[in-house]
Structure 1
Amino acid sequence: MQHTILDRVDQVAGDVVSLVLRGADGPLAPWEPGAHLDLALPNWLTRQYSLCGDPADRGAYRVAVRYDRLSRGGSEYIHRFLRTGRALDVSLPRNNFPLLPAPAYLFLAGGIGITPLLPMLRAAGAAGTLVYLGKSAETMPFAAELRAEYGNRARIVETGREGRPDFSALAAALPAGALVYCCGPASMIAAAEAAFPAGQLHVERFQPVARTFPPNSAFDVVCARSGDTVRVEPDMTMLDALHHAGHPLQSGCREGICGSCELNVLSGQPEHRDELGAADGRMYPCVSRSCSDRLVVDL
């Protein structure tokens, strides 16, 4: 974990605040556009937020938090109780949504989904354009900042007045080799998936897609470094089973989205239930299980 001090809180939309976290012990860990971090709150909760500042600024991180009226305690605490000067621990940045090389980019943002795309637009330079959707400008964080910095390269769409733009028309206008990065509500991501080819579109979700999996079955996890074997019963997650057996793992979302609980699999066949497209011997035990009776992990 890294130690930071909450340096500034800015209201950037009607229900969104921006937090600037300054390193308490010197420069903070580097990061690239698309990265996020875990923020450990004083009320014992840990939440994940996309970094939306400048990667070149090693002295501070910036994140933005929308107040969720169905909050489980994270956004409510930040909006109601968090004050400047507070010491806060944050994780090293992780990037499950990297900006890949391309001759041109289209960034599609919906509401708070602008956060991972802000540094991407800056990194893309003249090769990137943004279409940013929200009910009204007042509800759209950083809209004024985007207008001032990018002009016509940042199209602000107030869907309450204009409706959602035609994503198929946007797809038809893209130059060859362009990549599309999309983050926002589930309905917007679904519309983007219908309009853009899978190889061209990269998305980041705030919530997992509802999917159906086979019934849970029991399996054994062998911890290669300790030699322990841990039984995972059908009514328990692999993450919880390891924790109860004395092998606690870092965890955040517990929905297969943030990647904080990543494990390396040495043998066996994981059943991937995450949203991260785990491959190359990785799995996320907060939601994923095993297709084989036995998994060997690097733990």
Structure 2
Amino acid sequence: MTELELVVSQREFVADGVLSLTLRHPLGLRLPAWEPGAHVDLLLGPELERQYSLCSDPADRAAWRIAVLREPDGRGGSACVHDALDVGGTVRVRGPRNRFRLEPFPRYRFVAGGIGITPILPMLAAAETAGAEWSLLYGGRTRASMAFTGELARYGERVTLAPQDETGPLDLAPVLAGVRDDTLVYCCGPGPLLDAVAARCPAGRLRVERFRAAATARRAQAAAEFEVVLARSGRTLTVPPKVSVLDTVRAAGVEVLYSCTEGTCGTCETDVLEGTPDHRDSVLGEEARAAGDTMMICVSRCRGTRLVLDL
């Protein structure tokens, strides 16, 4: 996967606590192509990698834009971005990667909460260009905390801004009541919002991206041991009940790409050659889970006693 050393060409606060960064190649070269829903990994330091959605124009190959919410109780990634990445400085970036693609459909209903607007923003422009029917419900704590409201103004009444201190909790019923077979719902934001949308959305109509692991991922350590066969070498490893597949293979000296270790980013996705995965990630959709062809080895486990992985 592509890794680049990019230069911070612009810093701008686009809402309370939300910093927008524009990244460019130091030699002015074109950046890799991407589609709405893609994210990149910022390699901020040893054992400090974070994923941020691209929220610029995919047609602009000269620059990438991300927006980062400072999280006082976070694990240090947002603080590093806010405090250490100045204009003229550089940052190592890996990607882009996309597990939240905008599928071609006649109608869309977009729901965003807080910083969850970032992957949705380029989707709106793509839906507009495609001539699809769409609307956006965008909630936040306050109007001042909601990023990119100025850019959204050009879409007029198709965008509904719902600051909680002005309108109360998001009213999902009107948005989801009109979901039909020709409609997809795209949602990104806090876990409770995603859960509420999922509870009201018809089966197969919802596409989500989580910034925090789902409950199934957090329970990934509580399971029985099983064997993992590494197909490329023929080695067999035992995965203990409280150890992930990722940690097991790394302890055996196998180099694999990984980042979040929570089942949210998709970096460690690995092909499954035999066996049935016990999916505990927040990335794969229903069809991919049922197929069982890949798994996120940082959290997912085995439904039986043996998995053969393409490692």
The bucket for the TM-score relative to the shorter chain is over 0.9
Q: CA deviation at 1:51?
A: 0.9
Seen in structure 2, the aligned counterparts of structure 1 residues 87 and 81 have a Cα distance that, compared at 3 Å, is closer
Aligned residue type for 1:21: L
Residue identity matched to 2:135: T
Tell me, yes or no, if the aligned pair for 2:273 and 2:310 is still in contact at 8 Å: yes
Structure 1 residue 175: deviation in Å?
6.2
SS in 2 for 1:5: strand
Equivalents in 2 of 1:194, 1:291: separation in Å? 26
Paired residues for 1:25-104 under 5 Å = 26-42=29-45, 44-104=47-107
State the shift of 1:44 in Å.
Answer: 4.9
Provide the residue aligned with 1:275 in structure 2: 282
Once the two structures are superposed, residues 163-203 of structure 1 have per-residue CA deviations (whole angstroms, 9 ceiling, x without a partner) of 13432222234566121111112222222223221222222
Structure 2: distance between partners of 1:174 and 1:209: 24
Is 1:151 paired with 2:153?
A: no
Where 1:203 maps in the other structure, the secondary structure is strand
- Structure 2 letter corresponding to 1:284: M
Larger mean CA deviation between 260-269 and 39-48 belongs to 39-48
Against the structure 1 CA distance between its residues 235 and 193, is the aligned structure 2 distance closer, same or farther, given a 3 Å change threshold?
Answer: closer
Q: Is the 8 A contact 1:2 1:28 kept in 2?
A: no
Calculate the aligned-residue CA RMSD, in Å: 1.9
| Range moving further from structure 2, 192-201 or 106-115 | 192-201
State the Cα distance separating 1:226 from its structure 2 match.
2.3
When the two structures are superposed, what TM-score results if normalisation uses the length of structure 1?
0.93
- Normalised TM-score (structure 2): 0.90
The 8 Å contact of residues 168 and 196 in structure 1, kept in 2 or not, is answered as no
Q: Which residue of 2 aligns with 1:116?
A: 119
Q: Which residue of 2 aligns with 1:298?
A: 310
1:6 corresponds to which of 8, 16, 26: 8
Q: Distance in 2 between matches of 1:42 and 1:194?
A: 38
Preserved CA contact (<8 Å) 2:221 2:244? no
- Aligned-residue offset at 1:264: 0.6
Distance 2:118 2:259 in 1: 19
Q: Which residue of 2 aligns with 1:183?
A: 188
User: Counterparts of 1:228 and 1:22 in 2: how far apart (Å)?
Assistant: 43
Displacement of 1:119 in angstroms is 0.5
Q: How far does residue 58 in structure 1 lie from its aligned partner after superposition?
A: 1.2
Alpha-carbon contact 1:216-1:235 (below 8 Å) kept: yes
Tell me which of 298, 303, 311 is aligned to 1:286. 298
The structure-2 alpha-carbon separation of the partners of 1:244 and 1:213, relative to structure 1 and needing over 3 Å to count, comes to: closer
Count of residues paired in the alignment: 298
Runs of 4+ residues over 6 Å off in structure 1: none
SS at match of 2:118: helix
Whole-Å separation in 2 of the counterparts to 1:27 and 1:161? 43
The farther-off stretch of 178-187 and 274-283 is 274-283
3-state SS in 2 of match to 1:114: helix
Provide the secondary structure at the position in 1 that maps to 2:112.
Answer: strand
Aligned to 1:140: 146
CA apart distance, 1:214? 8.9
Q: Displacement, 1:133?
A: 0.7
